[in-house]
Amino acid sequence: MADRVEPKPAQLPLPGGQEGAVVRLHPLLCGEATWPDAWPHRRGGPLTKLRALGFRESRNDWVPIPLVAFLVEHPGFGPFLIDTGLDPSVAEDPRENLGRLVSATGAKTVEMKPEQAVPAQLRERRVDPNDVGLVVMTHLHYDHASGVSQFPRATFLVTGREWEAAHGRAAVTKGYRAGHVDHPFNWHAIDFDERGVSSFSTFGRAFDLFGDGSVHLLSTPGHTRGHMSVLLHTGAGDVLAVGDAAYTRRTLRTGHLPAFMDDEHLFRRSLREIQLFSEQRPDAVLIPGHDMGAWRTLEPVYG
Ligand SMILES: [Zn+2]
């Protein structure tokens, strides 16, 4: 890579907003992996992290998890994505794209069929991948950013904090692969700390993406330094793509924490905002980041 890629400040709201707009949401299953249940639901004691990696965990305690992305269709803006799923090469050989360190932990269990690549899934839904003008990145972990290179024409929205974390010290040990994101694409950084950022519902800091209330970007750090969740006002009701701010329904329900967090205090605060939202809006569908049981309850399309 010649020059270091740096994101430009994002200008929100984006064009295309329409009064009263609702979006269509397509959850996309992009692959599967397995992990010990001690990863999403930490065990106590000094071996917490080792057990999350499978040490002393029985094979029966490993669970399948979905690796996911979302297609969203906005009536004025057009199609956009939330996260990118996996690079098509992962279907052949996960190590090439995901790297050796990742392979040493989770990626050796990653399974992907070629037809699960996001461009293939878009075509199946009669959406031309070249028409995807925007990708909202909840965060830059390898299982969310692996497919970035598939969308060279899109503008990528990420928080500035997340970008820094993905390029910071020991980023590779924290689940980032610079090779996934360091493409000279249109990277735009959003800053939830800037003046004028307002709260929305139970969330302290939010952006109204198109200025029409159809899509809100919500600051939910803790899993990673710059994580965000996305609230979608679909024709079939509101859906909250929680991302990895909660991996599972159990964490949403009971607050049981995962083994690895960038910042436990921030994780708890973000989780509380999500839980309060769920209490106030029991009609809303919440999609946790890596819960196969929850994933199987979803509709193919919302709206
Ligand atoms: Zn993650």
- Ligand 1 centre and the CA of 79: distance in Å? 24
- Ligand 1 centre and the CA of 76: distance in Å? 30
- Ligand 1 centre and the CA of 150: distance in Å? 20
- Ligand 1 centre and the CA of 10: distance in Å? 23
- Ligand 1 centre and the CA of 141: distance in Å? 5
* pTM for the whole structure: 0.96
- Ligand 1 centre and the CA of 13: distance in Å? 26
pLDDT band at 104 (very low <50, low <70, confident <90, very high): low
- Ligand 1 centre and the CA of 246: distance in Å? 10
**Residue range 274-287, pLDDT digits in tens:** 999 999 999 999 99
Fold of 21-42+50-296: Metallo-beta-lactamase; Chain A (3.60.15)
- Ligand 1 centre and the CA of 20: distance in Å? 32
What single letter denotes the amino acid at residue 21?
Answer: A
- Ligand 1 centre and the CA of 49: distance in Å? 16
Structure tokens that stand for 163 in this block: 């970008």
- Ligand 1 centre and the CA of 36: distance in Å? 16
**Residue range 82-100, pLDDT digits in tens:** 999 999 999 998 888 888 6
Measured CA angle at 41 (ends 260, 61), to 5 deg = 115
- Domain-by-domain residue ranges, the chain? 21-42+50-296
- Ligand 1 centre and the CA of 18: distance in Å? 32
What single letter denotes the amino acid at residue 214?
Answer: S
What is the model's pLDDT at position 169? Answer: 87
- Ligand 1 centre and the CA of 184: distance in Å? 23
pLDDT band at 1 (very low <50, low <70, confident <90, very high): very low
User: Which residues, including other chains, have CB under 8 Å from residue 188's CB and lie 6 or more apart?
Assistant: 7, 8, 9, 10, 11, 155, 156, 157, 158
User: Which residues, including other chains, have CB under 8 Å from residue 215's CB and lie 6 or more apart?
Assistant: 23, 72, 74, 208, 209, 230, 231, 232, 233
